[in-house]
Amino acid sequence: MGGMPRPDASAKLAATAPRRSRSGLAIIIAAVVFVAVVVAVVIGATTSSKSSGGGGTAFPKGAASLGAPMVVNPEAPASVPVLDVFEDPQCPACATMDKVYGAAIAELAKSNQAKVVIHTMTFLDTNLKNDASVRAAMGAYCAADQGKFLDYMSAVYVGQPQQEGVGWTAPQLEAFAMSARVGNLTTWQQCVKDKTYQAHTAAAAEAALKEGVNSTPTLRLNGNKLTLTGNVNELAEAVKAATK
């Protein structure tokens, strides 16, 4: 080869060009990830607050405030134990519990042997990708205005679909109101149609999650976790033991 030796630029290019494209790529990837994460967090945060947006600040009879649990018998004397029940309308184990202990719980409330406090949760909607728990809970709160909260929840459990995740149709939810003997069905229908307790249902579910409850049914007697094994007498005995 003759002529002037040309300075070899290709080696220099090879050394710098990849470096530049690598760091450029890294910056692009980092930026895309950052944007995607921010979008996901914003979407997640707004969808969870959207569900608590509707319905204003109305709360049903039996709840002390927006998102407060349902006190079935507010007239219970302060001396009796407090029975907290955390339940999700779509939870099969809750239906089983209601079948075995539902009547006993209602009786505890009726006779004021315990102050019965129900916390509705709706995380199974997220789990099963539907909105059935929220709709059933709203139906129950509309029934609560007419003193039929527990009856409505029991009707929901009896009418739970064979296959978890199917949920309920609007006529089914209305049939539950009828079998719960809600006195004024028109009022109940209007309450459901207006989604009057949408915000309340969302706030109640969030409050229960914030209490650290993430499975249903969860029972607490005077704040202590109560485990029932399926014997109907267990509940009455536990309440008796907790009564001072």
Partner 1 sequence: MTRERGLDLLGTLLRLVLGGVILVAGALKVTNLGQSALAVRAYQLLPYDLAGYVGYALPIIEIVIGLLLVLGLFTRMSALLGALLMLAFVIGIASAWARGLSIDCGCFGGGGTIGAEQTAYPLELSRDVALTLAGAWLVRRPHTAYALDDRI
Helix (H, G, I), strand (E, B) or coil at 150: helix
b/e 93-114 (16+ beta carbons within 10 angstroms → b): ebbebbebbbebbbebbeeebb
d(CA 115, CA 155): 22
Of the pair 127, 179, the CB lying nearest partner 1 is at 127
Find the shortest distance in angstroms from Cβ 44 to partner 1. 4
Of the pair 45, 178, the CB lying nearest partner 1 is at 45
Of the pair 184, 214, the CB lying nearest partner 1 is at 214
Find the shortest distance in angstroms from Cβ 181 to partner 1. 34
Please give the residue ranges that form the binding site for partner 1 (CB under 8 A).
Answer: 18, 21-22, 25-26, 29, 32-33, 36-37, 40-41, 43-45, 47-48, 123, 126-127, 129, 209-210, 212, 214-215
Which residues does 3 contact at the CB level (< 8 Å), separation at least 6? none
Find the shortest distance in angstroms from Cβ 117 to partner 1. 20
Find the shortest distance in angstroms from Cβ 89 to partner 1. 17
Find the shortest distance in angstroms from Cβ 146 to partner 1. 32
Nearest to 85 by CA among 115, 124, 58, 128: 115
Q: Is the peptide bond prior to 217 cis by the omega test (within 30 degrees of 0)?
A: yes
**Which amino acid, 223?**
G
Nearest to 87 by CA among 146, 142, 140: 140
Of the pair 10, 21, the CB lying nearest partner 1 is at 21
Of the pair 33, 170, the CB lying nearest partner 1 is at 33
Find the shortest distance in angstroms from Cβ 101 to partner 1. 19
- Identify whether the C-beta of residue 74 lies closer than 8 Å to the C-beta of residue 41: no
Of the pair 131, 174, the CB lying nearest partner 1 is at 131
Nearest to 137 by CA among 176, 83, 101, 166: 176
Which residues does 85 contact at the CB level (< 8 Å), separation at least 6? 105, 116, 117, 118, 119, 217, 218, 219
